[in-house]
Chain A
Amino acid sequence: MLKGFGTFLLKELKELMRDPKILLPMIVVPLVMFPVLGGVMGYAMQAAQEQAIKAALVVVNNDCGNWSNTFINFLQGLSAMGFNLMIYTESNIKPLTSEKVLELLSKYNTTQILEIPDGFSQNITIHFNNPNVRAYVRLYSVLRGTSVFENIGSSAVDALIGMFNRQHAPDILYSEKATVIKGEVKYGVDPMAVSGLLMYQSIVLPMMVLLLISYAPQIAAASMAVEKEEKTLETLLTLPIDRLAILWGKLLSSIIVAAIGAVVYTAGYSYTLGSVMAGTPARLNVDLAALGLVPSTLGYLLLGLSLFVTIVSVLALSVILAAFAEDVRGAQALVGNIYPMIFLPSIALIYLDINTLPLAFKLVLFAIPFSHPMIASKAIIVGDLWTVTLGIIYVSAFTLVVMYAASKLFATEKILTAKIKFKGLKKRKGVSAEES
């Protein structure tokens, strides 16, 4: 073993574990963060399940034969068995046009319609002699947000069809899919496939955003703190250079370096995710652009703007915090305290659709400036540019306040003399030392 290694290791551990600047983000923050995150995930799953179970299913019987009645009885029997499924039936709406579908969705305030087409009973009867002939039902599902649990509703109906098949004969019945997107019925489009692709899209983009927002503060904080640690700040502040130029230089260089890092990471992430999902889009033959589910140019521009103002605010906040630290380690620990505000809403928004959240939860997410690029990255996919624009206005106002504070700090001697002292902890430590 290396000579003196044990002694040195002990010293290092003592120094690290006694430093409140490290303790706070390393131990206290995760203790709060993970239970909150667990709660958010649990809520998301529960909400999606409840919605799927409680959702009313409108069955349109255009067959009115023996087997269609058997199928409807089977569905109604399920609710008698304890499945919390509301079944409404309508008969003979022929043809079931897009307009009629939308009308029924609105009338029953539901997201799922099951059409039993003409010839359903006949096909099932033939199936017992010729298994090649199968009956089908058409499921119309409404695609709303971009939550991970979005497709639970349609998969629940698929599960019911599976149960019906098990009762009578395997493969007797299958479902054809139609998806209602932005008030238009798209035939042959599986909501699960669309949802999966949207997830892919709505994860890659937010992940890049998240990476950028989480990289930049560390870089900005380090670049500020290293000036103090390496004793270059004093010289810098006496040079004929505008103090705001120093601030902006640090902010911009951090953005550039963080952006490079984000691009590299996202390329890697995207490649990995692409490999995992290889074949899926081609097999399902879903063209998101044709379905109007690809962000518009304006959408991308707004996302860029949202990202820019948010990053400037995060960076300015980091530089302010770093100015209060004496060295790089202290600065990074101080900046670590803003991470829960970046990660919690970001991770929550990957799993949740903000539109389905309770008002209080929604307000909290909107109030955290760092959650807006994530909200924007999902909102532009469904074309909700108003939410993005309002977010940009809100974050810009927040950024202006932070920039004002940062420029004030840079204009005074505080930039040189400011220090955060952990008085409370020191005091308590002193008392316990005296007591012992």
Chain B
Amino acid sequence: MEASNVVKVFGSVHALDGLSFKVKPGEIYGLIGPNGAGKTTALRVVSTLLLPTAGTVKVFGLDVVEKAAEVRRIISYLPEEAGAYRYLSGWEYLEFMAKFSAKSKDEVRAMVAEAAEICGLGERLKDKTKTYSKGMKRRLLVARALMAKPKLAILDEPTSGLDVIHSYHVREIIKKYVREHGVTVLLSSHNMLEVEHLCDRVALINKGRLVAEGSPQELKEKYGCSNLEEVFAKVVKIA
């Protein structure tokens, strides 16, 4: 996945101001930055939701503007504030989503079974999603995003709203998926521990621009910090 000089303007606000970065196949790449830095806008452009004002984004060689429909076939996007259909049960929701990616009924069944394992909701999958807690809903949505084994999974704050145990569980699942299925992951997060633990490489963005990039270890060494949180504070201050 490659973003080159991406600009996104909303009225007078430059949400992205020449952002460029590359994600290698099979890599977990994290976008970190303060609120309003442009992380979510960047993910929305990559996932074909927003059109870039300028610049190009390619996902496995496919332009997100010109080949949007094809891009949607190989990606899976998990928005930060995503919800599920209140009056569908967890099973029905997963089945509904699986039908868009699967080519046969067996594949749908396999995907839903996979998702059931990922989310670990067990019997509660039979209940309507409106009865779920925030954490349960998030687990369901993460499972939905991964069950189709997309080539690129775009996860906006994947552990948002999850407690420590479930966050750990979701992180392990993401890692396992990358390892077993060769899924490439582009994620954003506020949780520096999560980023350090999960990402092969990270990009620090501020005011719609990339201000630092590298593996967590490289960044810590470069800025002489003991953890990414310090790197983050230092870089944002400098920027």
Q: Which A residues form the contact surface with B (CB < 8 A)?
A: 226, 230-232, 234-235, 237-242, 412-413, 416-417
Inter-subunit contact B83/A230 (CB<8 Å) = yes
Contacts of A231 in B (CB 8 A): 79, 81-83
The answer, yes or no, to whether B78 is at the interface (CB within 8 Å) is yes
Contact among B49, B86, B100 for A234, CB-based, below 8 A: B49
Inter-subunit contact A235/B77 (CB<8 Å) = yes
Contact among A238, A241, A242 for B75, CB-based, below 8 A: A238
In the bound complex, CA of A248 to CA of B75 (Å)? 24
Inter-subunit contact B49/A230 (CB<8 Å) = no
Q: In whole Å, how far is A80's beta carbon from the nearest beta carbon of chain B? A: 74
Instruction: Name 10 A/B residue pairs within 8 A (Cβ), A-sorted.
Output: A226-B86, A230-B86, A231-B81, A234-B44, A239-B72, A240-B72, A240-B73, A240-B100, A241-B100, A413-B50
Contacts of A226 in B (CB 8 A): 86
Main secondary structure of the interface of A (DSSP, over half): loop
User: A238-B77, A240-B101 in contact; A232/B84 too (CB < 8 A)?
Assistant: yes
User: A230-B83, A232-B85, A234-B79 in contact; A239/B49 too (CB < 8 A)?
Assistant: no
In the bound complex, CA of A226 to CA of B77 (Å)? 19
The answer, yes or no, to whether B173 is at the interface (CB within 8 Å) is no
Q: Nearest B residue to A229 by beta-carbon distance?
A: B83
A-contacting residues, B62-80, CB 8 Å: 69, 72-73, 75-79
Most buried by A among B49, B50, B141: B49
Q: In whole Å, how far is B145's beta carbon from the nearest beta carbon of chain A? A: 8
Inter-subunit contact A235/B82 (CB<8 Å) = yes
The answer, yes or no, to whether B236 is at the interface (CB within 8 Å) is no
Contacts of A234 in B (CB 8 A): 44, 49, 77, 79, 82
Inter-subunit contact A239/B97 (CB<8 Å) = yes
Q: Nearest B residue to A241 by beta-carbon distance?
A: B100
Q: Nearest A residue to B100 by beta-carbon distance?
A: A239
Inter-subunit contact B83/A232 (CB<8 Å) = yes
In the bound complex, CA of A292 to CA of B73 (Å)? 59
Inter-subunit contact B75/A412 (CB<8 Å) = no
A-contacting residues, B162-177, CB 8 Å: none
In the bound complex, CA of A230 to CA of B48 (Å)? 20
The 4 closest A-B pairs by CB, nearest first: A231-B83, A230-B83, A238-B77, A234-B79
Q: In whole Å, how far is B187's beta carbon from the nearest beta carbon of chain A? A: 15
Inter-subunit contact A238/B48 (CB<8 Å) = yes
Q: In whole Å, how far is A6's beta carbon from the nearest beta carbon of chain B? A: 30
Chain B, 89-100, contact with A by CB distance < 8 Å: what is the 0/1 string?
000000001001
The answer, yes or no, to whether B56 is at the interface (CB within 8 Å) is no
